[in-house]
Amino acid sequence: MKNVLITGGAGFIGSHVVRRFVVSYPQYKIFNLDKLTYAGNLQNLVDIENSENYTFLKGDICDADLVSEIFDLHRIDVVIHLAAESHVDRSIRNPNAFVETNVLGTVNLLNTARNAWKGSHNKLFYHISTDEVYGSLGAEGFFTESTPYDPKSPYSASKAASDHFVKAYGNTYKLPFIISNCSNNYGPNHFPEKLIPLAINNIRNGEPIPVYGKGENVRDWLYVEDHAIAIDVIVHKGEIGETYNIGGFNEWKNIDLIRLLCDIMDQELGNSVGTSQELITFVKDRAGHDLRYAIDAMKIKKELGWEPSVTFEEGLRKTVNWYLKNEEWLDNVTSGNYQKYYEQHYG
């Protein structure tokens, strides 16, 4: 029996983690704390929202009184901390928002856990982070758990700071923690501001597909359900005080990814293959755009037995099919109508 607090559980990755824990562990009580910003959507969880072991809590991780009340009332044993501002472009425009949520919000959670768990055993603060904290790679090499931090954007700097605070609380206050740093996720329920869902939506509407620079930036892609499985494995098998890199062993140049996505979309829409590639539009590169990310995920494979199970082509096709079958979800998200769901069902 565990009482598990998942922060940011209405978001893209968080909703998949919440679903996995609610379905896989009926003996656990799962509490989903989410502020419901533009990226938090309760429609992501309609299939499990009435489960007996699930409770949604609307609130901000920066609200110290609320977080303390949740720990006291629900006797939280495990924190799976996913709540974060996560879009690099938004961090360039408004870095303060990223400091507030990603740094101050994390510290608030750490302080609450430290006070609530004094003298307790079998507790865990699990902080989910990003490979972007490591900076940028050249044409060769991989990020490992010992790679020095070298964040390049306000977003990655805020995540690096939160990682450091988690480790510092472990060292100073003996707070039991684990950190994981993952590569780019993709899959169902992804808010269409990120590359893959944005391209799917634009192809669907016959609009230009913006690609930064020449499209030569390289990312390692991980199917979101594989990430949720990795998080599950780390919660139950991970070593306290350790860091685990989670990657897809799956590097793609942005332009090659988009071309493959265009061809899959054409096949699924019944268009002549190559039609959607005409929508590709190269735009001015992002400021400080990291060239390449690539994760060495051998530690989690060797020590905990996890490795990705979904190939990129398979995952991309599953993602495309989900968006095409859930056009109402996509329309609600792009129009902002999804925000009404909370008022109708929880307000």
Task: State the catalytic residues.
Answer: 131-132, 155
Share in percent of the chain as helix, strand, coil (round to 5): 45, 20, 35
Dmax (CA) for the chain in angstroms is 65
* Cβ-defined contacts of 111-117 (< 8 Å, 24+): 111/64, 112/64, 112/67, 112/68, 112/71, 113/71, 113/76, 113/79, 113/175, 114/169, 114/173, 114/175, 115/68, 116/68, 116/71, 116/72, 116/76, 117/175, 117/176
Distance CA(196)–CA(70), nearest Å, equals: 36
Contact 151, 160 (CB under 8 A): yes
Distance CA(35)–CA(60), nearest Å, equals: 5
The label of the residue with tokens 């020449």 reads 214
Dig out the tokens for 339 from the structure: 């925000």
Q: Report the run of H or E that residue 221 belongs to, with start and end.
A: strand 218-223
Q: Report the run of H or E that residue 225 belongs to, with start and end.
A: helix 224-237
Residue type, 309: S
CA distances from 76 to 33, 211, 339 (A): 12, 43, 28
**187-190-195 Cα angle (round to 5):** 85
Dig out the tokens for 67 from the structure: 């977080």
Distance CA(326)–CA(43), nearest Å, equals: 11
Dihedral over Cα of 248, 252, 254, 257: its sign: negative
